[in-house]
Structure 1
Amino acid sequence: MKKRIIALSLISMLILASCSSKQSSTPETTAAETTTTEAVTETTAEVTTEHVTAAQNEVGFEGMTEVRANTVKEGEYHISVDSSSSMFKIADCILYVKGSSMNADIIIDSKSYDALFMGTEDEAKKADESERITYTTNDSGQSVFSVPVEALDKEIQCAALSAKKQEWYGRTLVFRADSLPMDALLTRGYTECSSLGLEDGEYTADVTLEGGSGRASVASPAKLIVKDGNVEAEIVWSSDKYDKMVMQGATYLPTITDGHSVFIIDVLGFDYKMPVGAETTAMSEPHMIDYTLYFDSSTIKKCE
């Protein structure tokens, strides 16, 4: 009888030990499963496609009107291009106008893309390889894609073939007419200073800044100085981090007044988006940013 009791006791102890072992192992298994889940999540995040991770930029501007080749003088022009993708960075663009057609060399610093296709991402996937636009390399080692340009100031679909993933990614491009020289258009899209009949003296006019990240601004109205038919404007930036402005090959340097960079620049015309560049020192190294300034002739007032 005693032997039977001892045996039953031993069996009970073994069963309890077994249960205890199973219960203690459950958290370890759960922890392992959690770790695996986290690893999968991290891996998924790392391979998130460019569609999700690439920041999307606004392109063009409200009220854009298409500018076709027949309204632009034949020639070669360096112009600005808006890209909807922060991953598709255009270092420079050279526009070629001849007859009724326009073409452009899109210049990219990296070798991130093997080819371009002028159309949507889906169209690129279905198109024959002969329709792909491959790149050449210029003397600076940059990739140069030569593409047709249907019109300036028009949203144009373009797909880029990733060199690394061999996948197509859609972009929207706008070749900016407001970055052309003033005399490039066959029809005047601006008001000449001389046509306003301004006498020598000081005036004010509303001015609108566009471009960059949208965080910078300039004071409006701006002071105008008229002398011998020429018009200059005092541009007061919202920051003192601008150390240079460039326009039509001319360079302007500032004075720093009450925490603002102040420039005196030439006004080439009114009632159009006048392209200018401004170099900021707010970043880790000086960086030139493209802007436009729009001087509204209807708001000109003579200073008392």
Structure 2
Amino acid sequence: MKIIKKILNFMLTISIVLTVLTGCNIQNTSPLNDKPATDENSLQSTDQENIQEDNTEKEAETEEPICGNQIEDGTYSIEVSSSSSMFKIIDAQLTVKNGEMSAVLTLSGTGYEKLYMGTEEEALADTDDKCIYFVEDSQGKYTYEVPVEALNQDINCAAWSIRKEKWYDRVLVFHSSSIPEKVITENSVPDGIYTAEVILSGGSGRASIESPADITAAGGTMTATIIWSSKSYEHMLIDGVYFYPVNTTGNSTFEIPVSMDKDIEVTAQTVAMSTPHDIDYTLRFDSATLKSK
């Protein structure tokens, strides 16, 4: 009997030990504790990325739009952000002249044949001559010269993929914080209609223009109405852009973009001497005489 009792006690002990061990294994394999160790790190990384994106958005919101007439003429290296990592700009050179801005963009890749300053939908509806085709630089990179309406604001740009043969929408922002602060003026002229004295120099000295001239300021740009002393002027050429008379009777009248206190070089074609002649002039508008009309 004693032997049987010892055997029973031994078996009972073994049973208890097995029960305890089995319980521990069940607890350790519980689904509640089966999370990968990297999940928390991934969540932290995602949170950090979200915080960085929020900070970028807040920084962009604090930048006021800046137009060409608020920047001194010159060429500046500028930072440009893109809405897509597939459209990476590795270099951008901003040129400002007479209140107008343009930039030469260099992309990291060679996947885009042409750009269109607008949306994909607008590109599909427009003609191909409005597109900007790439120019290959000395290092084989694709560059594009694009107009820049203003800094610190969204600019729509559609890019044509060579491989996919379709347009892709991109949004670009040119950041004023990356160019010298000293070349940016504090304020632009508020929207409105003004007059200002204008000085015409060059030519033979016989021609003149009406002064003061009417100036319209809108959206950070200024447009002047130029009325010549003759009806014989057929066009004006400014920075490679032709401007034609806006009137059909009376002295030749043009509407051209201008900046204050800067020499604006123009070429005007006249037929006063029976055959067309191109004559170079310089215009200068005096900001001290700017008055609301």
**TM-score, length-normalised on structure 2?**
0.43
Q: Output the TM-score relative to the length of structure 1.
A: 0.42
Q: Please say which structure displays the higher CA radius of gyration.
A: 2
